[in-house]
Amino acid sequence: MPQVTTSEVTRGGAFLIQATPAERIFIPEEWNEEQRQLAQLCEDFLEKEIYPRLDEIDYGDPTQVMPEILRKAAELGFLGLTVPEAYGGLGADFLTGMLFTEKMGPSHSFAVALLAHTGIGTLPILYFGTPEQKAKYLPKIVTGELFAAYCLTEPGSGSDALGARTKAIPTADGKAYQLTGQKMWITNGGFADLFTVFAKVNGEQFTAFLVERSFPGVSVGAEEKKMGIKGSSTRQVFFQETPVPVENVLGEIGKGHVIAFNILNIGRIKLAAATTGSCKRLVDVCVRYAKERHQFNRPIASFGAIQHKLADMAIYTWASETATYRASADIQAYEKYLLDQGQPYEKALLGAAQEYAAECAILKVFGSEALDYVADEAVQIHGGYGYSAEYPVERAYRDSRINRIYEGTNEINRMLSVDYLLRKAMKGELDLLSAAMKVQGELMSIPEFGDANGAFLATEKKAVENLKKAILMVAGFSAQKYMQKLADEQEVLMAIADMLIDTYVVESMLLRTEKIAQRNGESAATDALAMTQAFLVDAQERTASAGRRAILHVAEGDERRVLLMGLKRFTKPLEVDTVALRRQIAEKLISAEKYCF
């Protein structure tokens, strides 16, 4: 296999300070035949095993139904898709694993159980386990002989995960640790056989342990009564002087945070793939409903207000898909780069996900909020029927809400997305300072109003470049003003994060549009262009609003005036008829009777 050179990999966060050539990004139009077959296999599985059983899954005993379906998934290799063949898995690459996650996304509670088992349940062992731990547990995890869960959260520590109180006391003979504590909200808690548990050795050193359910002193609470994902088992897990042999320490003593945080990066981008899949299904359901449902002697799909909603749902879905696979392919390329540098397999993917930690946080927020928006509009399109448990959108609405809470709340992820970039800048990995200084210089110069040259996408490219300048301007000024204390200005960080999210997403849409045109001609990119333009106008408005909020807080007097003028210049809205663009998208959906982009 050819070596990947540094010039071929895009650094994490670099999107903010450099232009990415369209040919460098992966777009879903490039899925190969094998990947398309896998997608079909997943869809068939959901049609056969999940959709007819959604009520049984949600209202039956989660410790019976879920393990049974998970075992069926294991027979198809789904529990070990990306696990290396040496441990009984199929050894698929990261992008294929992401496609699988997208396809499983719409399976409601099943997706939660499956992705907890294959993600936070399996990955800590795969990436941090000793050869003995891997050989002992992974083959059984892949076949569904063992189900896995991840115990980080406690009643008193959620976002502040390192504040855990569960203790691990070394035994006198040095052969084991005794774990005592209480974990909360543990997915698969009712039936998992193996728990990755975070506890503090001697009350101080945060460490991960592999704890079997059969170990003495392990017990679980009752099922939590939840708003949604009712079929997924969520319980408290208790450890009462549970002896855990030293062989079951996962990773190093005192290095549990490395496991907890690295696994979360992957979990976040996977969540965006899963929510993308759920969005697609909701668009399918709504387009069909809007065609069938008649009011005033017309299908409701013929009303502009409904077409606007359908189009927006599709635009957010396409946006989420596009940005998620762009980052996924970047991670995969970086993983290969690290492997070629001689890094071991275990470190390569984690290192790659860490490199793109800001993008993972951005996608987690965007994906979960896109799905909430889509689910909300799905209920609205269904009117009163959307409020009925007899219709599928009611479940989707309840189930989508959790995504903004777990894998790090969206507030925490917003702050992390900015924090990761600033930290990269401080480490000298990302030259934000020069880029911000350049924008500052531009603010003092006479604006260059000469519009783009009329070439395909030239105006849109300039607009995206300007959004980046708006971020660099606001973030640069805020960082200069507050220095280390910027972390205390959370509202400003949130505003910067919102700008970052919109910019990363819309740039991804723009690049996908360009690549489609490069591959198949500009006429093949008409719908992609319409979606990109419609989203771009909204992104410009949101950036103007978030930027203004931040500037009015951080700057005063002349500085404030200069920044506000710059912001106005950098967010000057594209003059396009977004009503016509959305009608174009809606017409495509209505004639295809499904999500078709």
Ligand X SMILES: Cc1cc2nc3c(=O)[nH]c(=O)nc-3n(C[C@H](O)[C@H](O)[C@H](O)COP(=O)(O)OP(=O)(O)OC[C@H]3O[C@@H](n4cnc5c(N)ncnc54)[C@H](O)[C@@H]3O)c2cc1C
DSSP letters, 468-532, are HHHHHHHHHHHHHHHGGGGGG-HHHHHHHHHHHHHHHHHHHHHHHHHHHHHHH-GGGGHHHHHHH
Tell me, what DSSP letter sits at residue 15?
G
Tell me, what DSSP letter sits at residue 230?
T
Contact range with ligand X by CB under 6 A, out of 185-193, 316-324, 357-365, 441-449: 185-193
Q: What phi and psi values does residue 187 have, to the nearest 5 degrees? A: -65, 135
For position 266 contacting ligand X by CB under 6 A, the verdict is no
CB 283 within 8 A of CB 589: yes
For position 185 contacting ligand X by CB under 6 A, the verdict is yes
β-strands 194-201, 167-170: how paired?
parallel
> Smaller CB distance to ligand X: residue 81 or 192?
192
For the record, the structure tokens of 276 come out as 């993308």
Contact range with ligand X by CB under 6 A, out of 1-9, 151-159, 341-349, 579-587: 151-159
Q: What share of the chain is helix, strand, coil (3-state, %, to 5)?
A: 65, 10, 25
> Smaller CB distance to ligand X: residue 90 or 229?
229
DSSP letters, 109-152, are HHHHHHHIIIIIITHHHHHH--HHHHHHHHHHHHHTSS-EEEE-
Q: What phi and psi values does residue 354 have, to the nearest 5 degrees? A: -65, -40
Instruction: Quote the least distance from Cβ 438 to ligand X, whole Å.
Output: 32
> Smaller CB distance to ligand X: residue 14 or 402?
402
Binds ligand X (CB under 6 A): choice among 186, 237, 266, 327: 186
Binds ligand X (CB under 6 A): choice among 37, 159, 295, 480: 159
> Smaller CB distance to ligand X: residue 202 or 490?
490
Instruction: Quote the least distance from Cβ 120 to ligand X, whole Å.
Output: 6
| Apex 14 CA angle, 13 and 15, nearest 5 | 90
Instruction: Quote the least distance from Cβ 366 to ligand X, whole Å.
Output: 16
Binds ligand X (CB under 6 A): choice among 26, 45, 137, 150: 150
Instruction: Quote the least distance from Cβ 147 to ligand X, whole Å.
Output: 12
For position 223 contacting ligand X by CB under 6 A, the verdict is no
DSSP letters, 490-507, are HHHHHHHHHHHHHHHHHH
Contact range with ligand X by CB under 6 A, out of 144-152, 304-312, 326-334, 374-382: 144-152
Tell me, what DSSP letter sits at residue 222?
P
For position 158 contacting ligand X by CB under 6 A, the verdict is yes
Nearest to 318 by CA among 85, 461, 506: 506
Q: Give me the 447-486 binding string for ligand X, x by CB under 6 A, dash otherwise.
A: ----------------------------------------
C-alpha span between 361 and 41 (Å, rounded): 30
Question: 407 an active-site residue?
Answer: yes
Whole-Å CA distances, 5 to 148, 285, 338, 446: 37, 45, 10, 40
For position 152 contacting ligand X by CB under 6 A, the verdict is yes
Residues 6+ apart with CB under 8 A from 158: 184, 409
Instruction: Quote the least distance from Cβ 405 to ligand X, whole Å.
Output: 5
Nearest to 171 by CA among 64, 219, 243: 243
C-alpha span between 1 and 177 (Å, rounded): 45
> Smaller CB distance to ligand X: residue 117 or 280?
117
Q: Rule CB under 6 A: which of 73-102 touch ligand X? A: none
Q: Give me the 386-425 binding string for ligand X, x by CB under 6 A, dash otherwise.
A: ----------------x--xx--x-xx-------------
For position 162 contacting ligand X by CB under 6 A, the verdict is no
Burial (CB < 10 A; 0-12, 13-18, 19+), residue 155, is exposed
> Smaller CB distance to ligand X: residue 284 or 411?
411
Contact range with ligand X by CB under 6 A, out of 184-192, 331-339, 544-552, 571-579: 184-192
For residue 588, the SS3 value is: helix
> Smaller CB distance to ligand X: residue 409 or 545?
409
> Smaller CB distance to ligand X: residue 128 or 185?
185
Q: Rule CB under 6 A: which of 490-529 touch ligand X? A: 490
For position 196 contacting ligand X by CB under 6 A, the verdict is no
Burial (CB < 10 A; 0-12, 13-18, 19+), residue 453, is exposed
Which residue's beta carbon is nearest to the bound ligand X?
158
DSSP letters, 52-103, are GGHHHHHHS-HHHHHHHHHHHHHHTTGGGTTS-GGGTS----HHHHHHHHHH
370-380 b/e (C-beta count within 10 Å ≥ 16 → b): bbbebbbbbbb
| Apex 193 CA angle, 179 and 162, nearest 5 | 40
Instruction: Quote the least distance from Cβ 232 to ligand X, whole Å.
Output: 7
For residue 165, the SS3 value is: coil
Q: Rule CB under 6 A: which of 108-127 touch ligand X? A: 116
Q: Rule CB under 6 A: which of 233-262 touch ligand X? A: 234
Site size toward ligand X, by CB under 6 A: 19
Instruction: Quote the least distance from Cβ 182 to ligand X, whole Å.
Output: 12
Binds ligand X (CB under 6 A): choice among 118, 178, 187, 513: 187
> Smaller CB distance to ligand X: residue 256 or 386?
256
Q: Of 154, 359, 369, 407, which residue is the catalytic one?
A: 407
Binds ligand X (CB under 6 A): choice among 10, 153, 403, 578: 153
Catalytic residue positions? Answer: 407
Binding site for ligand X (CB under 6 A): 116, 150-153, 158-159, 185-187, 226, 234, 402, 405-406, 409, 411-412, 490
